[in-house]
Chain A
Amino acid sequence: MSNTKFILGCFDDPDDMMKGIDNLQKASVPIYDIYTPMPIHGIEDKMGVKDSRLGYAAFCFGCLGATVIFSIVYYTLVHDWPMNIGGKPSFAIPNFVPFTFEWTILFTAFGMTFTYFAATHLFPGRAPRVMDLRATDDRFVIAVSAKGNVPHEDITNLLKDAGAVEVKHNERKYVSYE
């Protein structure tokens, strides 16, 4: 029994990598994850990744921001200390618009982005879980878990056939911890 934990197909071209995904999927080999230096469009359909729901989160945060600032302005300007400025109404909604607008944007932006960071486990100081150091530079990497996917030679050949420039049999999951 070899100590291989992950088999990495490293491609230098995103089109070849797409072919690699097809090859593996045709052979019913489950793909662990794919690491690329740039977003590859069409890959999520292939891998069956559903659309992100961050848009809904963004909408909810926007509504929250609008409500919060509208309430603050209403409380201070209308309820707590209404000022008589030439007899004009203190509940002058047009003046509320810029504040409500700005905080809608503010809450949407920060709420959504922090939800994204939380969902994707991104935060300052997190140990980078990188399987191949060139995956952020010029390699498009398909990672296949070695456990259960045997024989490893077949997987290597499937990746090589698609045009992988290198197939690695890593004994550690993340090289960046070294």
Chain B
Amino acid sequence: MAHQHESIIREPLMTGKDITYAQITNDILLPVENKPNKAWWIGFIVSSLGALLWVVSISYTFWFGLGAWGLNKTVGWAWDITGFVWWVGIGHAGTLISAVLLIFRQNWRNSINRSAEAMTIFAVICAATYIVAHMGRPWLAYFTLPLPNQYGSLWVNWNSALMMDVFAISTYFSVSLLFWYTGLLPDIATIRDRATGLRRRIYSILSFGWNGSLKTWQRFETVSLILAGISTPLVLSVHTIVSFDFATSLEPGWHTTIFPPYFVAGAIFSGFAMVQTLLLVTRKVLGLENYITMFHIESMNKIIMLTGSIVGVAYITEFFIAWYSQVEYEQYAFINRATGPYWWAYWSMMSCNVISPQLFWSKKLRTSIKFSWFLSIIVNIGMWFERFVIIVTSLHRDYIPSSWAMFYPTWVDVSVFIGSIGLFFTMFLLFIRVLPSVAIAEVKLLLKTSSEQAKKKLIDEGHLEPAEVQYYKESLTKYDSIDMADYEKV
């Protein structure tokens, strides 16, 4: 509202000239209301081939059993749980962006939350497929539920961290889905009111009859805020509980109290990296440069740098505590990680997760789109190695040297993993075709306060401190979507 101007020294969250509410709708719905372009088709074909590979390799696993994987008597968890933890970690950024940043009133979340939440849901779906697949007999998956049965009833073991995982992941998935879909309602209504024929009818059902009346919006805001409030501890609890899978065991290298915070930081780290991987491409392909700006990219890079540093501290702490504990087995587990037969995995993890994010201290690098994208891939790889290192290098040399073994993945292991990435991208690409990838209503809120044009108007009116205006202009130079020639004369 006109009387609520934002301070000029804050960078704009939306760029572009002469943007109107109608244009925001048009820009964001462009991919939804039109035929997809070539880039989308190429991406979709490649991803669906990946998804097909997933179907084949998962079916093979179900048909022949877990013997199709490279597991052995010593290494009973390998690529399956690595993939599971990797995907769950990736699935943390969406809810973090939508919930934590909403509570802290960080308005830059408005343009990235929708696609990040969608990404969360697809990542958790991928994670869940690993859980079901590694059960070996997936048709008995209902054994994880506390159902009365003919064994007594012999109930599920509530003392097990794996049971806690069932509750954490299922709650996280369903609450994330609810949060995402509730937020989508007003935007689906926007599509509905612009569409005709069958499309209108479909979106009408999906919109739940949303009409944007006063009370609907007022209650919607309350619901969003409370959902954000409860999702924040939820998102922290999920990876905490995933870390319990390891931390409550007696395995050297796993049995550490540092795991919960360390896993949560790692999850945020990998989640933001995946958001970066997707959004840097999406903004280009869908032409959303004015909504997902350099400010967003830089902010996410800063979070990647911070969480990467926390993860680095955790790695070093683990090493220190292993030495400090004076427990021989604990010490060996860590020496073996860094110098044993899996040294290459350990050092890949170290260089990808600890060393490379530190490059973001350089402003030039963290505002470079190409470099940000490259580094987001590096972080994704590093975080996969982190889980591999934790799981396989801790297991492969156990207490009895005669049973020491190496893990070698089979083609099924590799295909399930590559296939799950294909599955993830297929779902994401379908999402950006049928639903708005940016929260339209929430971005409209920024137009009169935090947009470049609103701030330009303030400068043109000329009641501002010249030093502040100068500071603001200097902050604009990093944006790739702003033409600095407009600011030369002001």
Contact = CB atoms under 8 A, between A and B. Distances in A.
Interface of A: 12, 14-15, 18, 33-44, 47, 49, 51-52, 54-55, 58, 62, 72-73, 76-77, 80-81, 83, 85, 92, 95-96, 98-99, 101-103, 105-106, 108-110, 112-113, 116-117, 119-131, 133-138, 176
B230 interface: yes
A70 B170 CA distance: 17
Closest A-B pairs by Cβ, 9 of them: A126-B209, A138-B21, A76-B155, A138-B22, A122-B208, A52-B222, A98-B164, A38-B441, A39-B217
A76 B204 CA distance: 45
B208 A34 contact: no
B226 A108 contact: yes
A127 to B, nearest CB: 6
B474 interface: no
B168 A80 contact: no
A83 B160 CA distance: 13
Given A101-B237, A105-B233, A110-B174, A15 B211 contact: no
B193 A137 contact: yes
Interface stretch (B30-38, B69-77, B175-183): B175-183
A134 B218 contact: no
A83 B156 CA distance: 11
Interface stretch (B384-392, B416-424, B442-450): B442-450
A11 B385 CA distance: 55
Contact of B214 (A34, A117, A136): A34
The B interface is mostly helix, strand or loop, or mixed, namely helix
Contacts of A125: 205, 209
A54 B219 contact: yes
A43 B218 CA distance: 9
Given A55-B222, A134-B193, 16 more contacts: A37-B441, A38-B186, A38-B217, A39-B221, A40-B217, A41-B1, A98-B167, A98-B244, A102-B234, A108-B226, A109-B230, A116-B222, A126-B208, A126-B209, A127-B204, A137-B21
Interface in B187-229: 189-190, 192-194, 204-223, 226-227
Given A105-B230, A113-B223, A133-B193, A98 B241 contact: yes
B67 interface: no
B22 A137 contact: yes
B167 A99 contact: yes
A60 to B, nearest CB: 12
9 contacts: A43-B214, A77-B155, A92-B159, A102-B237, A116-B220, A135-B193, A136-B192, A136-B193, A138-B25
B144 to A, nearest CB: 13
B462 interface: no
Given A12-B21, A52-B222, A106-B175, A113 B227 contact: yes
A123 B206 CA distance: 9
B153 A80 contact: yes
B154 interface: yes
Contact of B209 (A49, A55, A103, A123): A123
A77 B156 CA distance: 8
Contacts of B250: none
Nearest to B169: A102
B210 A128 contact: yes
Contacts of A14: 1, 448
Contacts of A35: 211-214
Contact of A54 (B152, B212, B223): B223
Contacts of B222: 51-52, 54-55, 116
A130 to B, nearest CB: 5
A136 B190 contact: yes
Among A41, A127, A133, the one with the most B-chain Cβ atoms within 10 Å of its Cβ is A41
Contacts of B157: 83
Given A38-B441, A73-B158, A112-B223, A135 B211 contact: yes
Contacts of B154: 81
Nearest to B224: A39
B400 interface: no
A109 B175 contact: yes
Contacts of A126: 208-209
A52 B218 contact: yes
A37 B168 contact: no
A89 to B, nearest CB: 11
Contacts of A96: 158
Among A95, A98, A103, A109, the one with the most B-chain Cβ atoms within 10 Å of its Cβ is A109
B101 interface: no
B194 A137 contact: yes
Contacts of B409: none
A14 B2 CA distance: 9
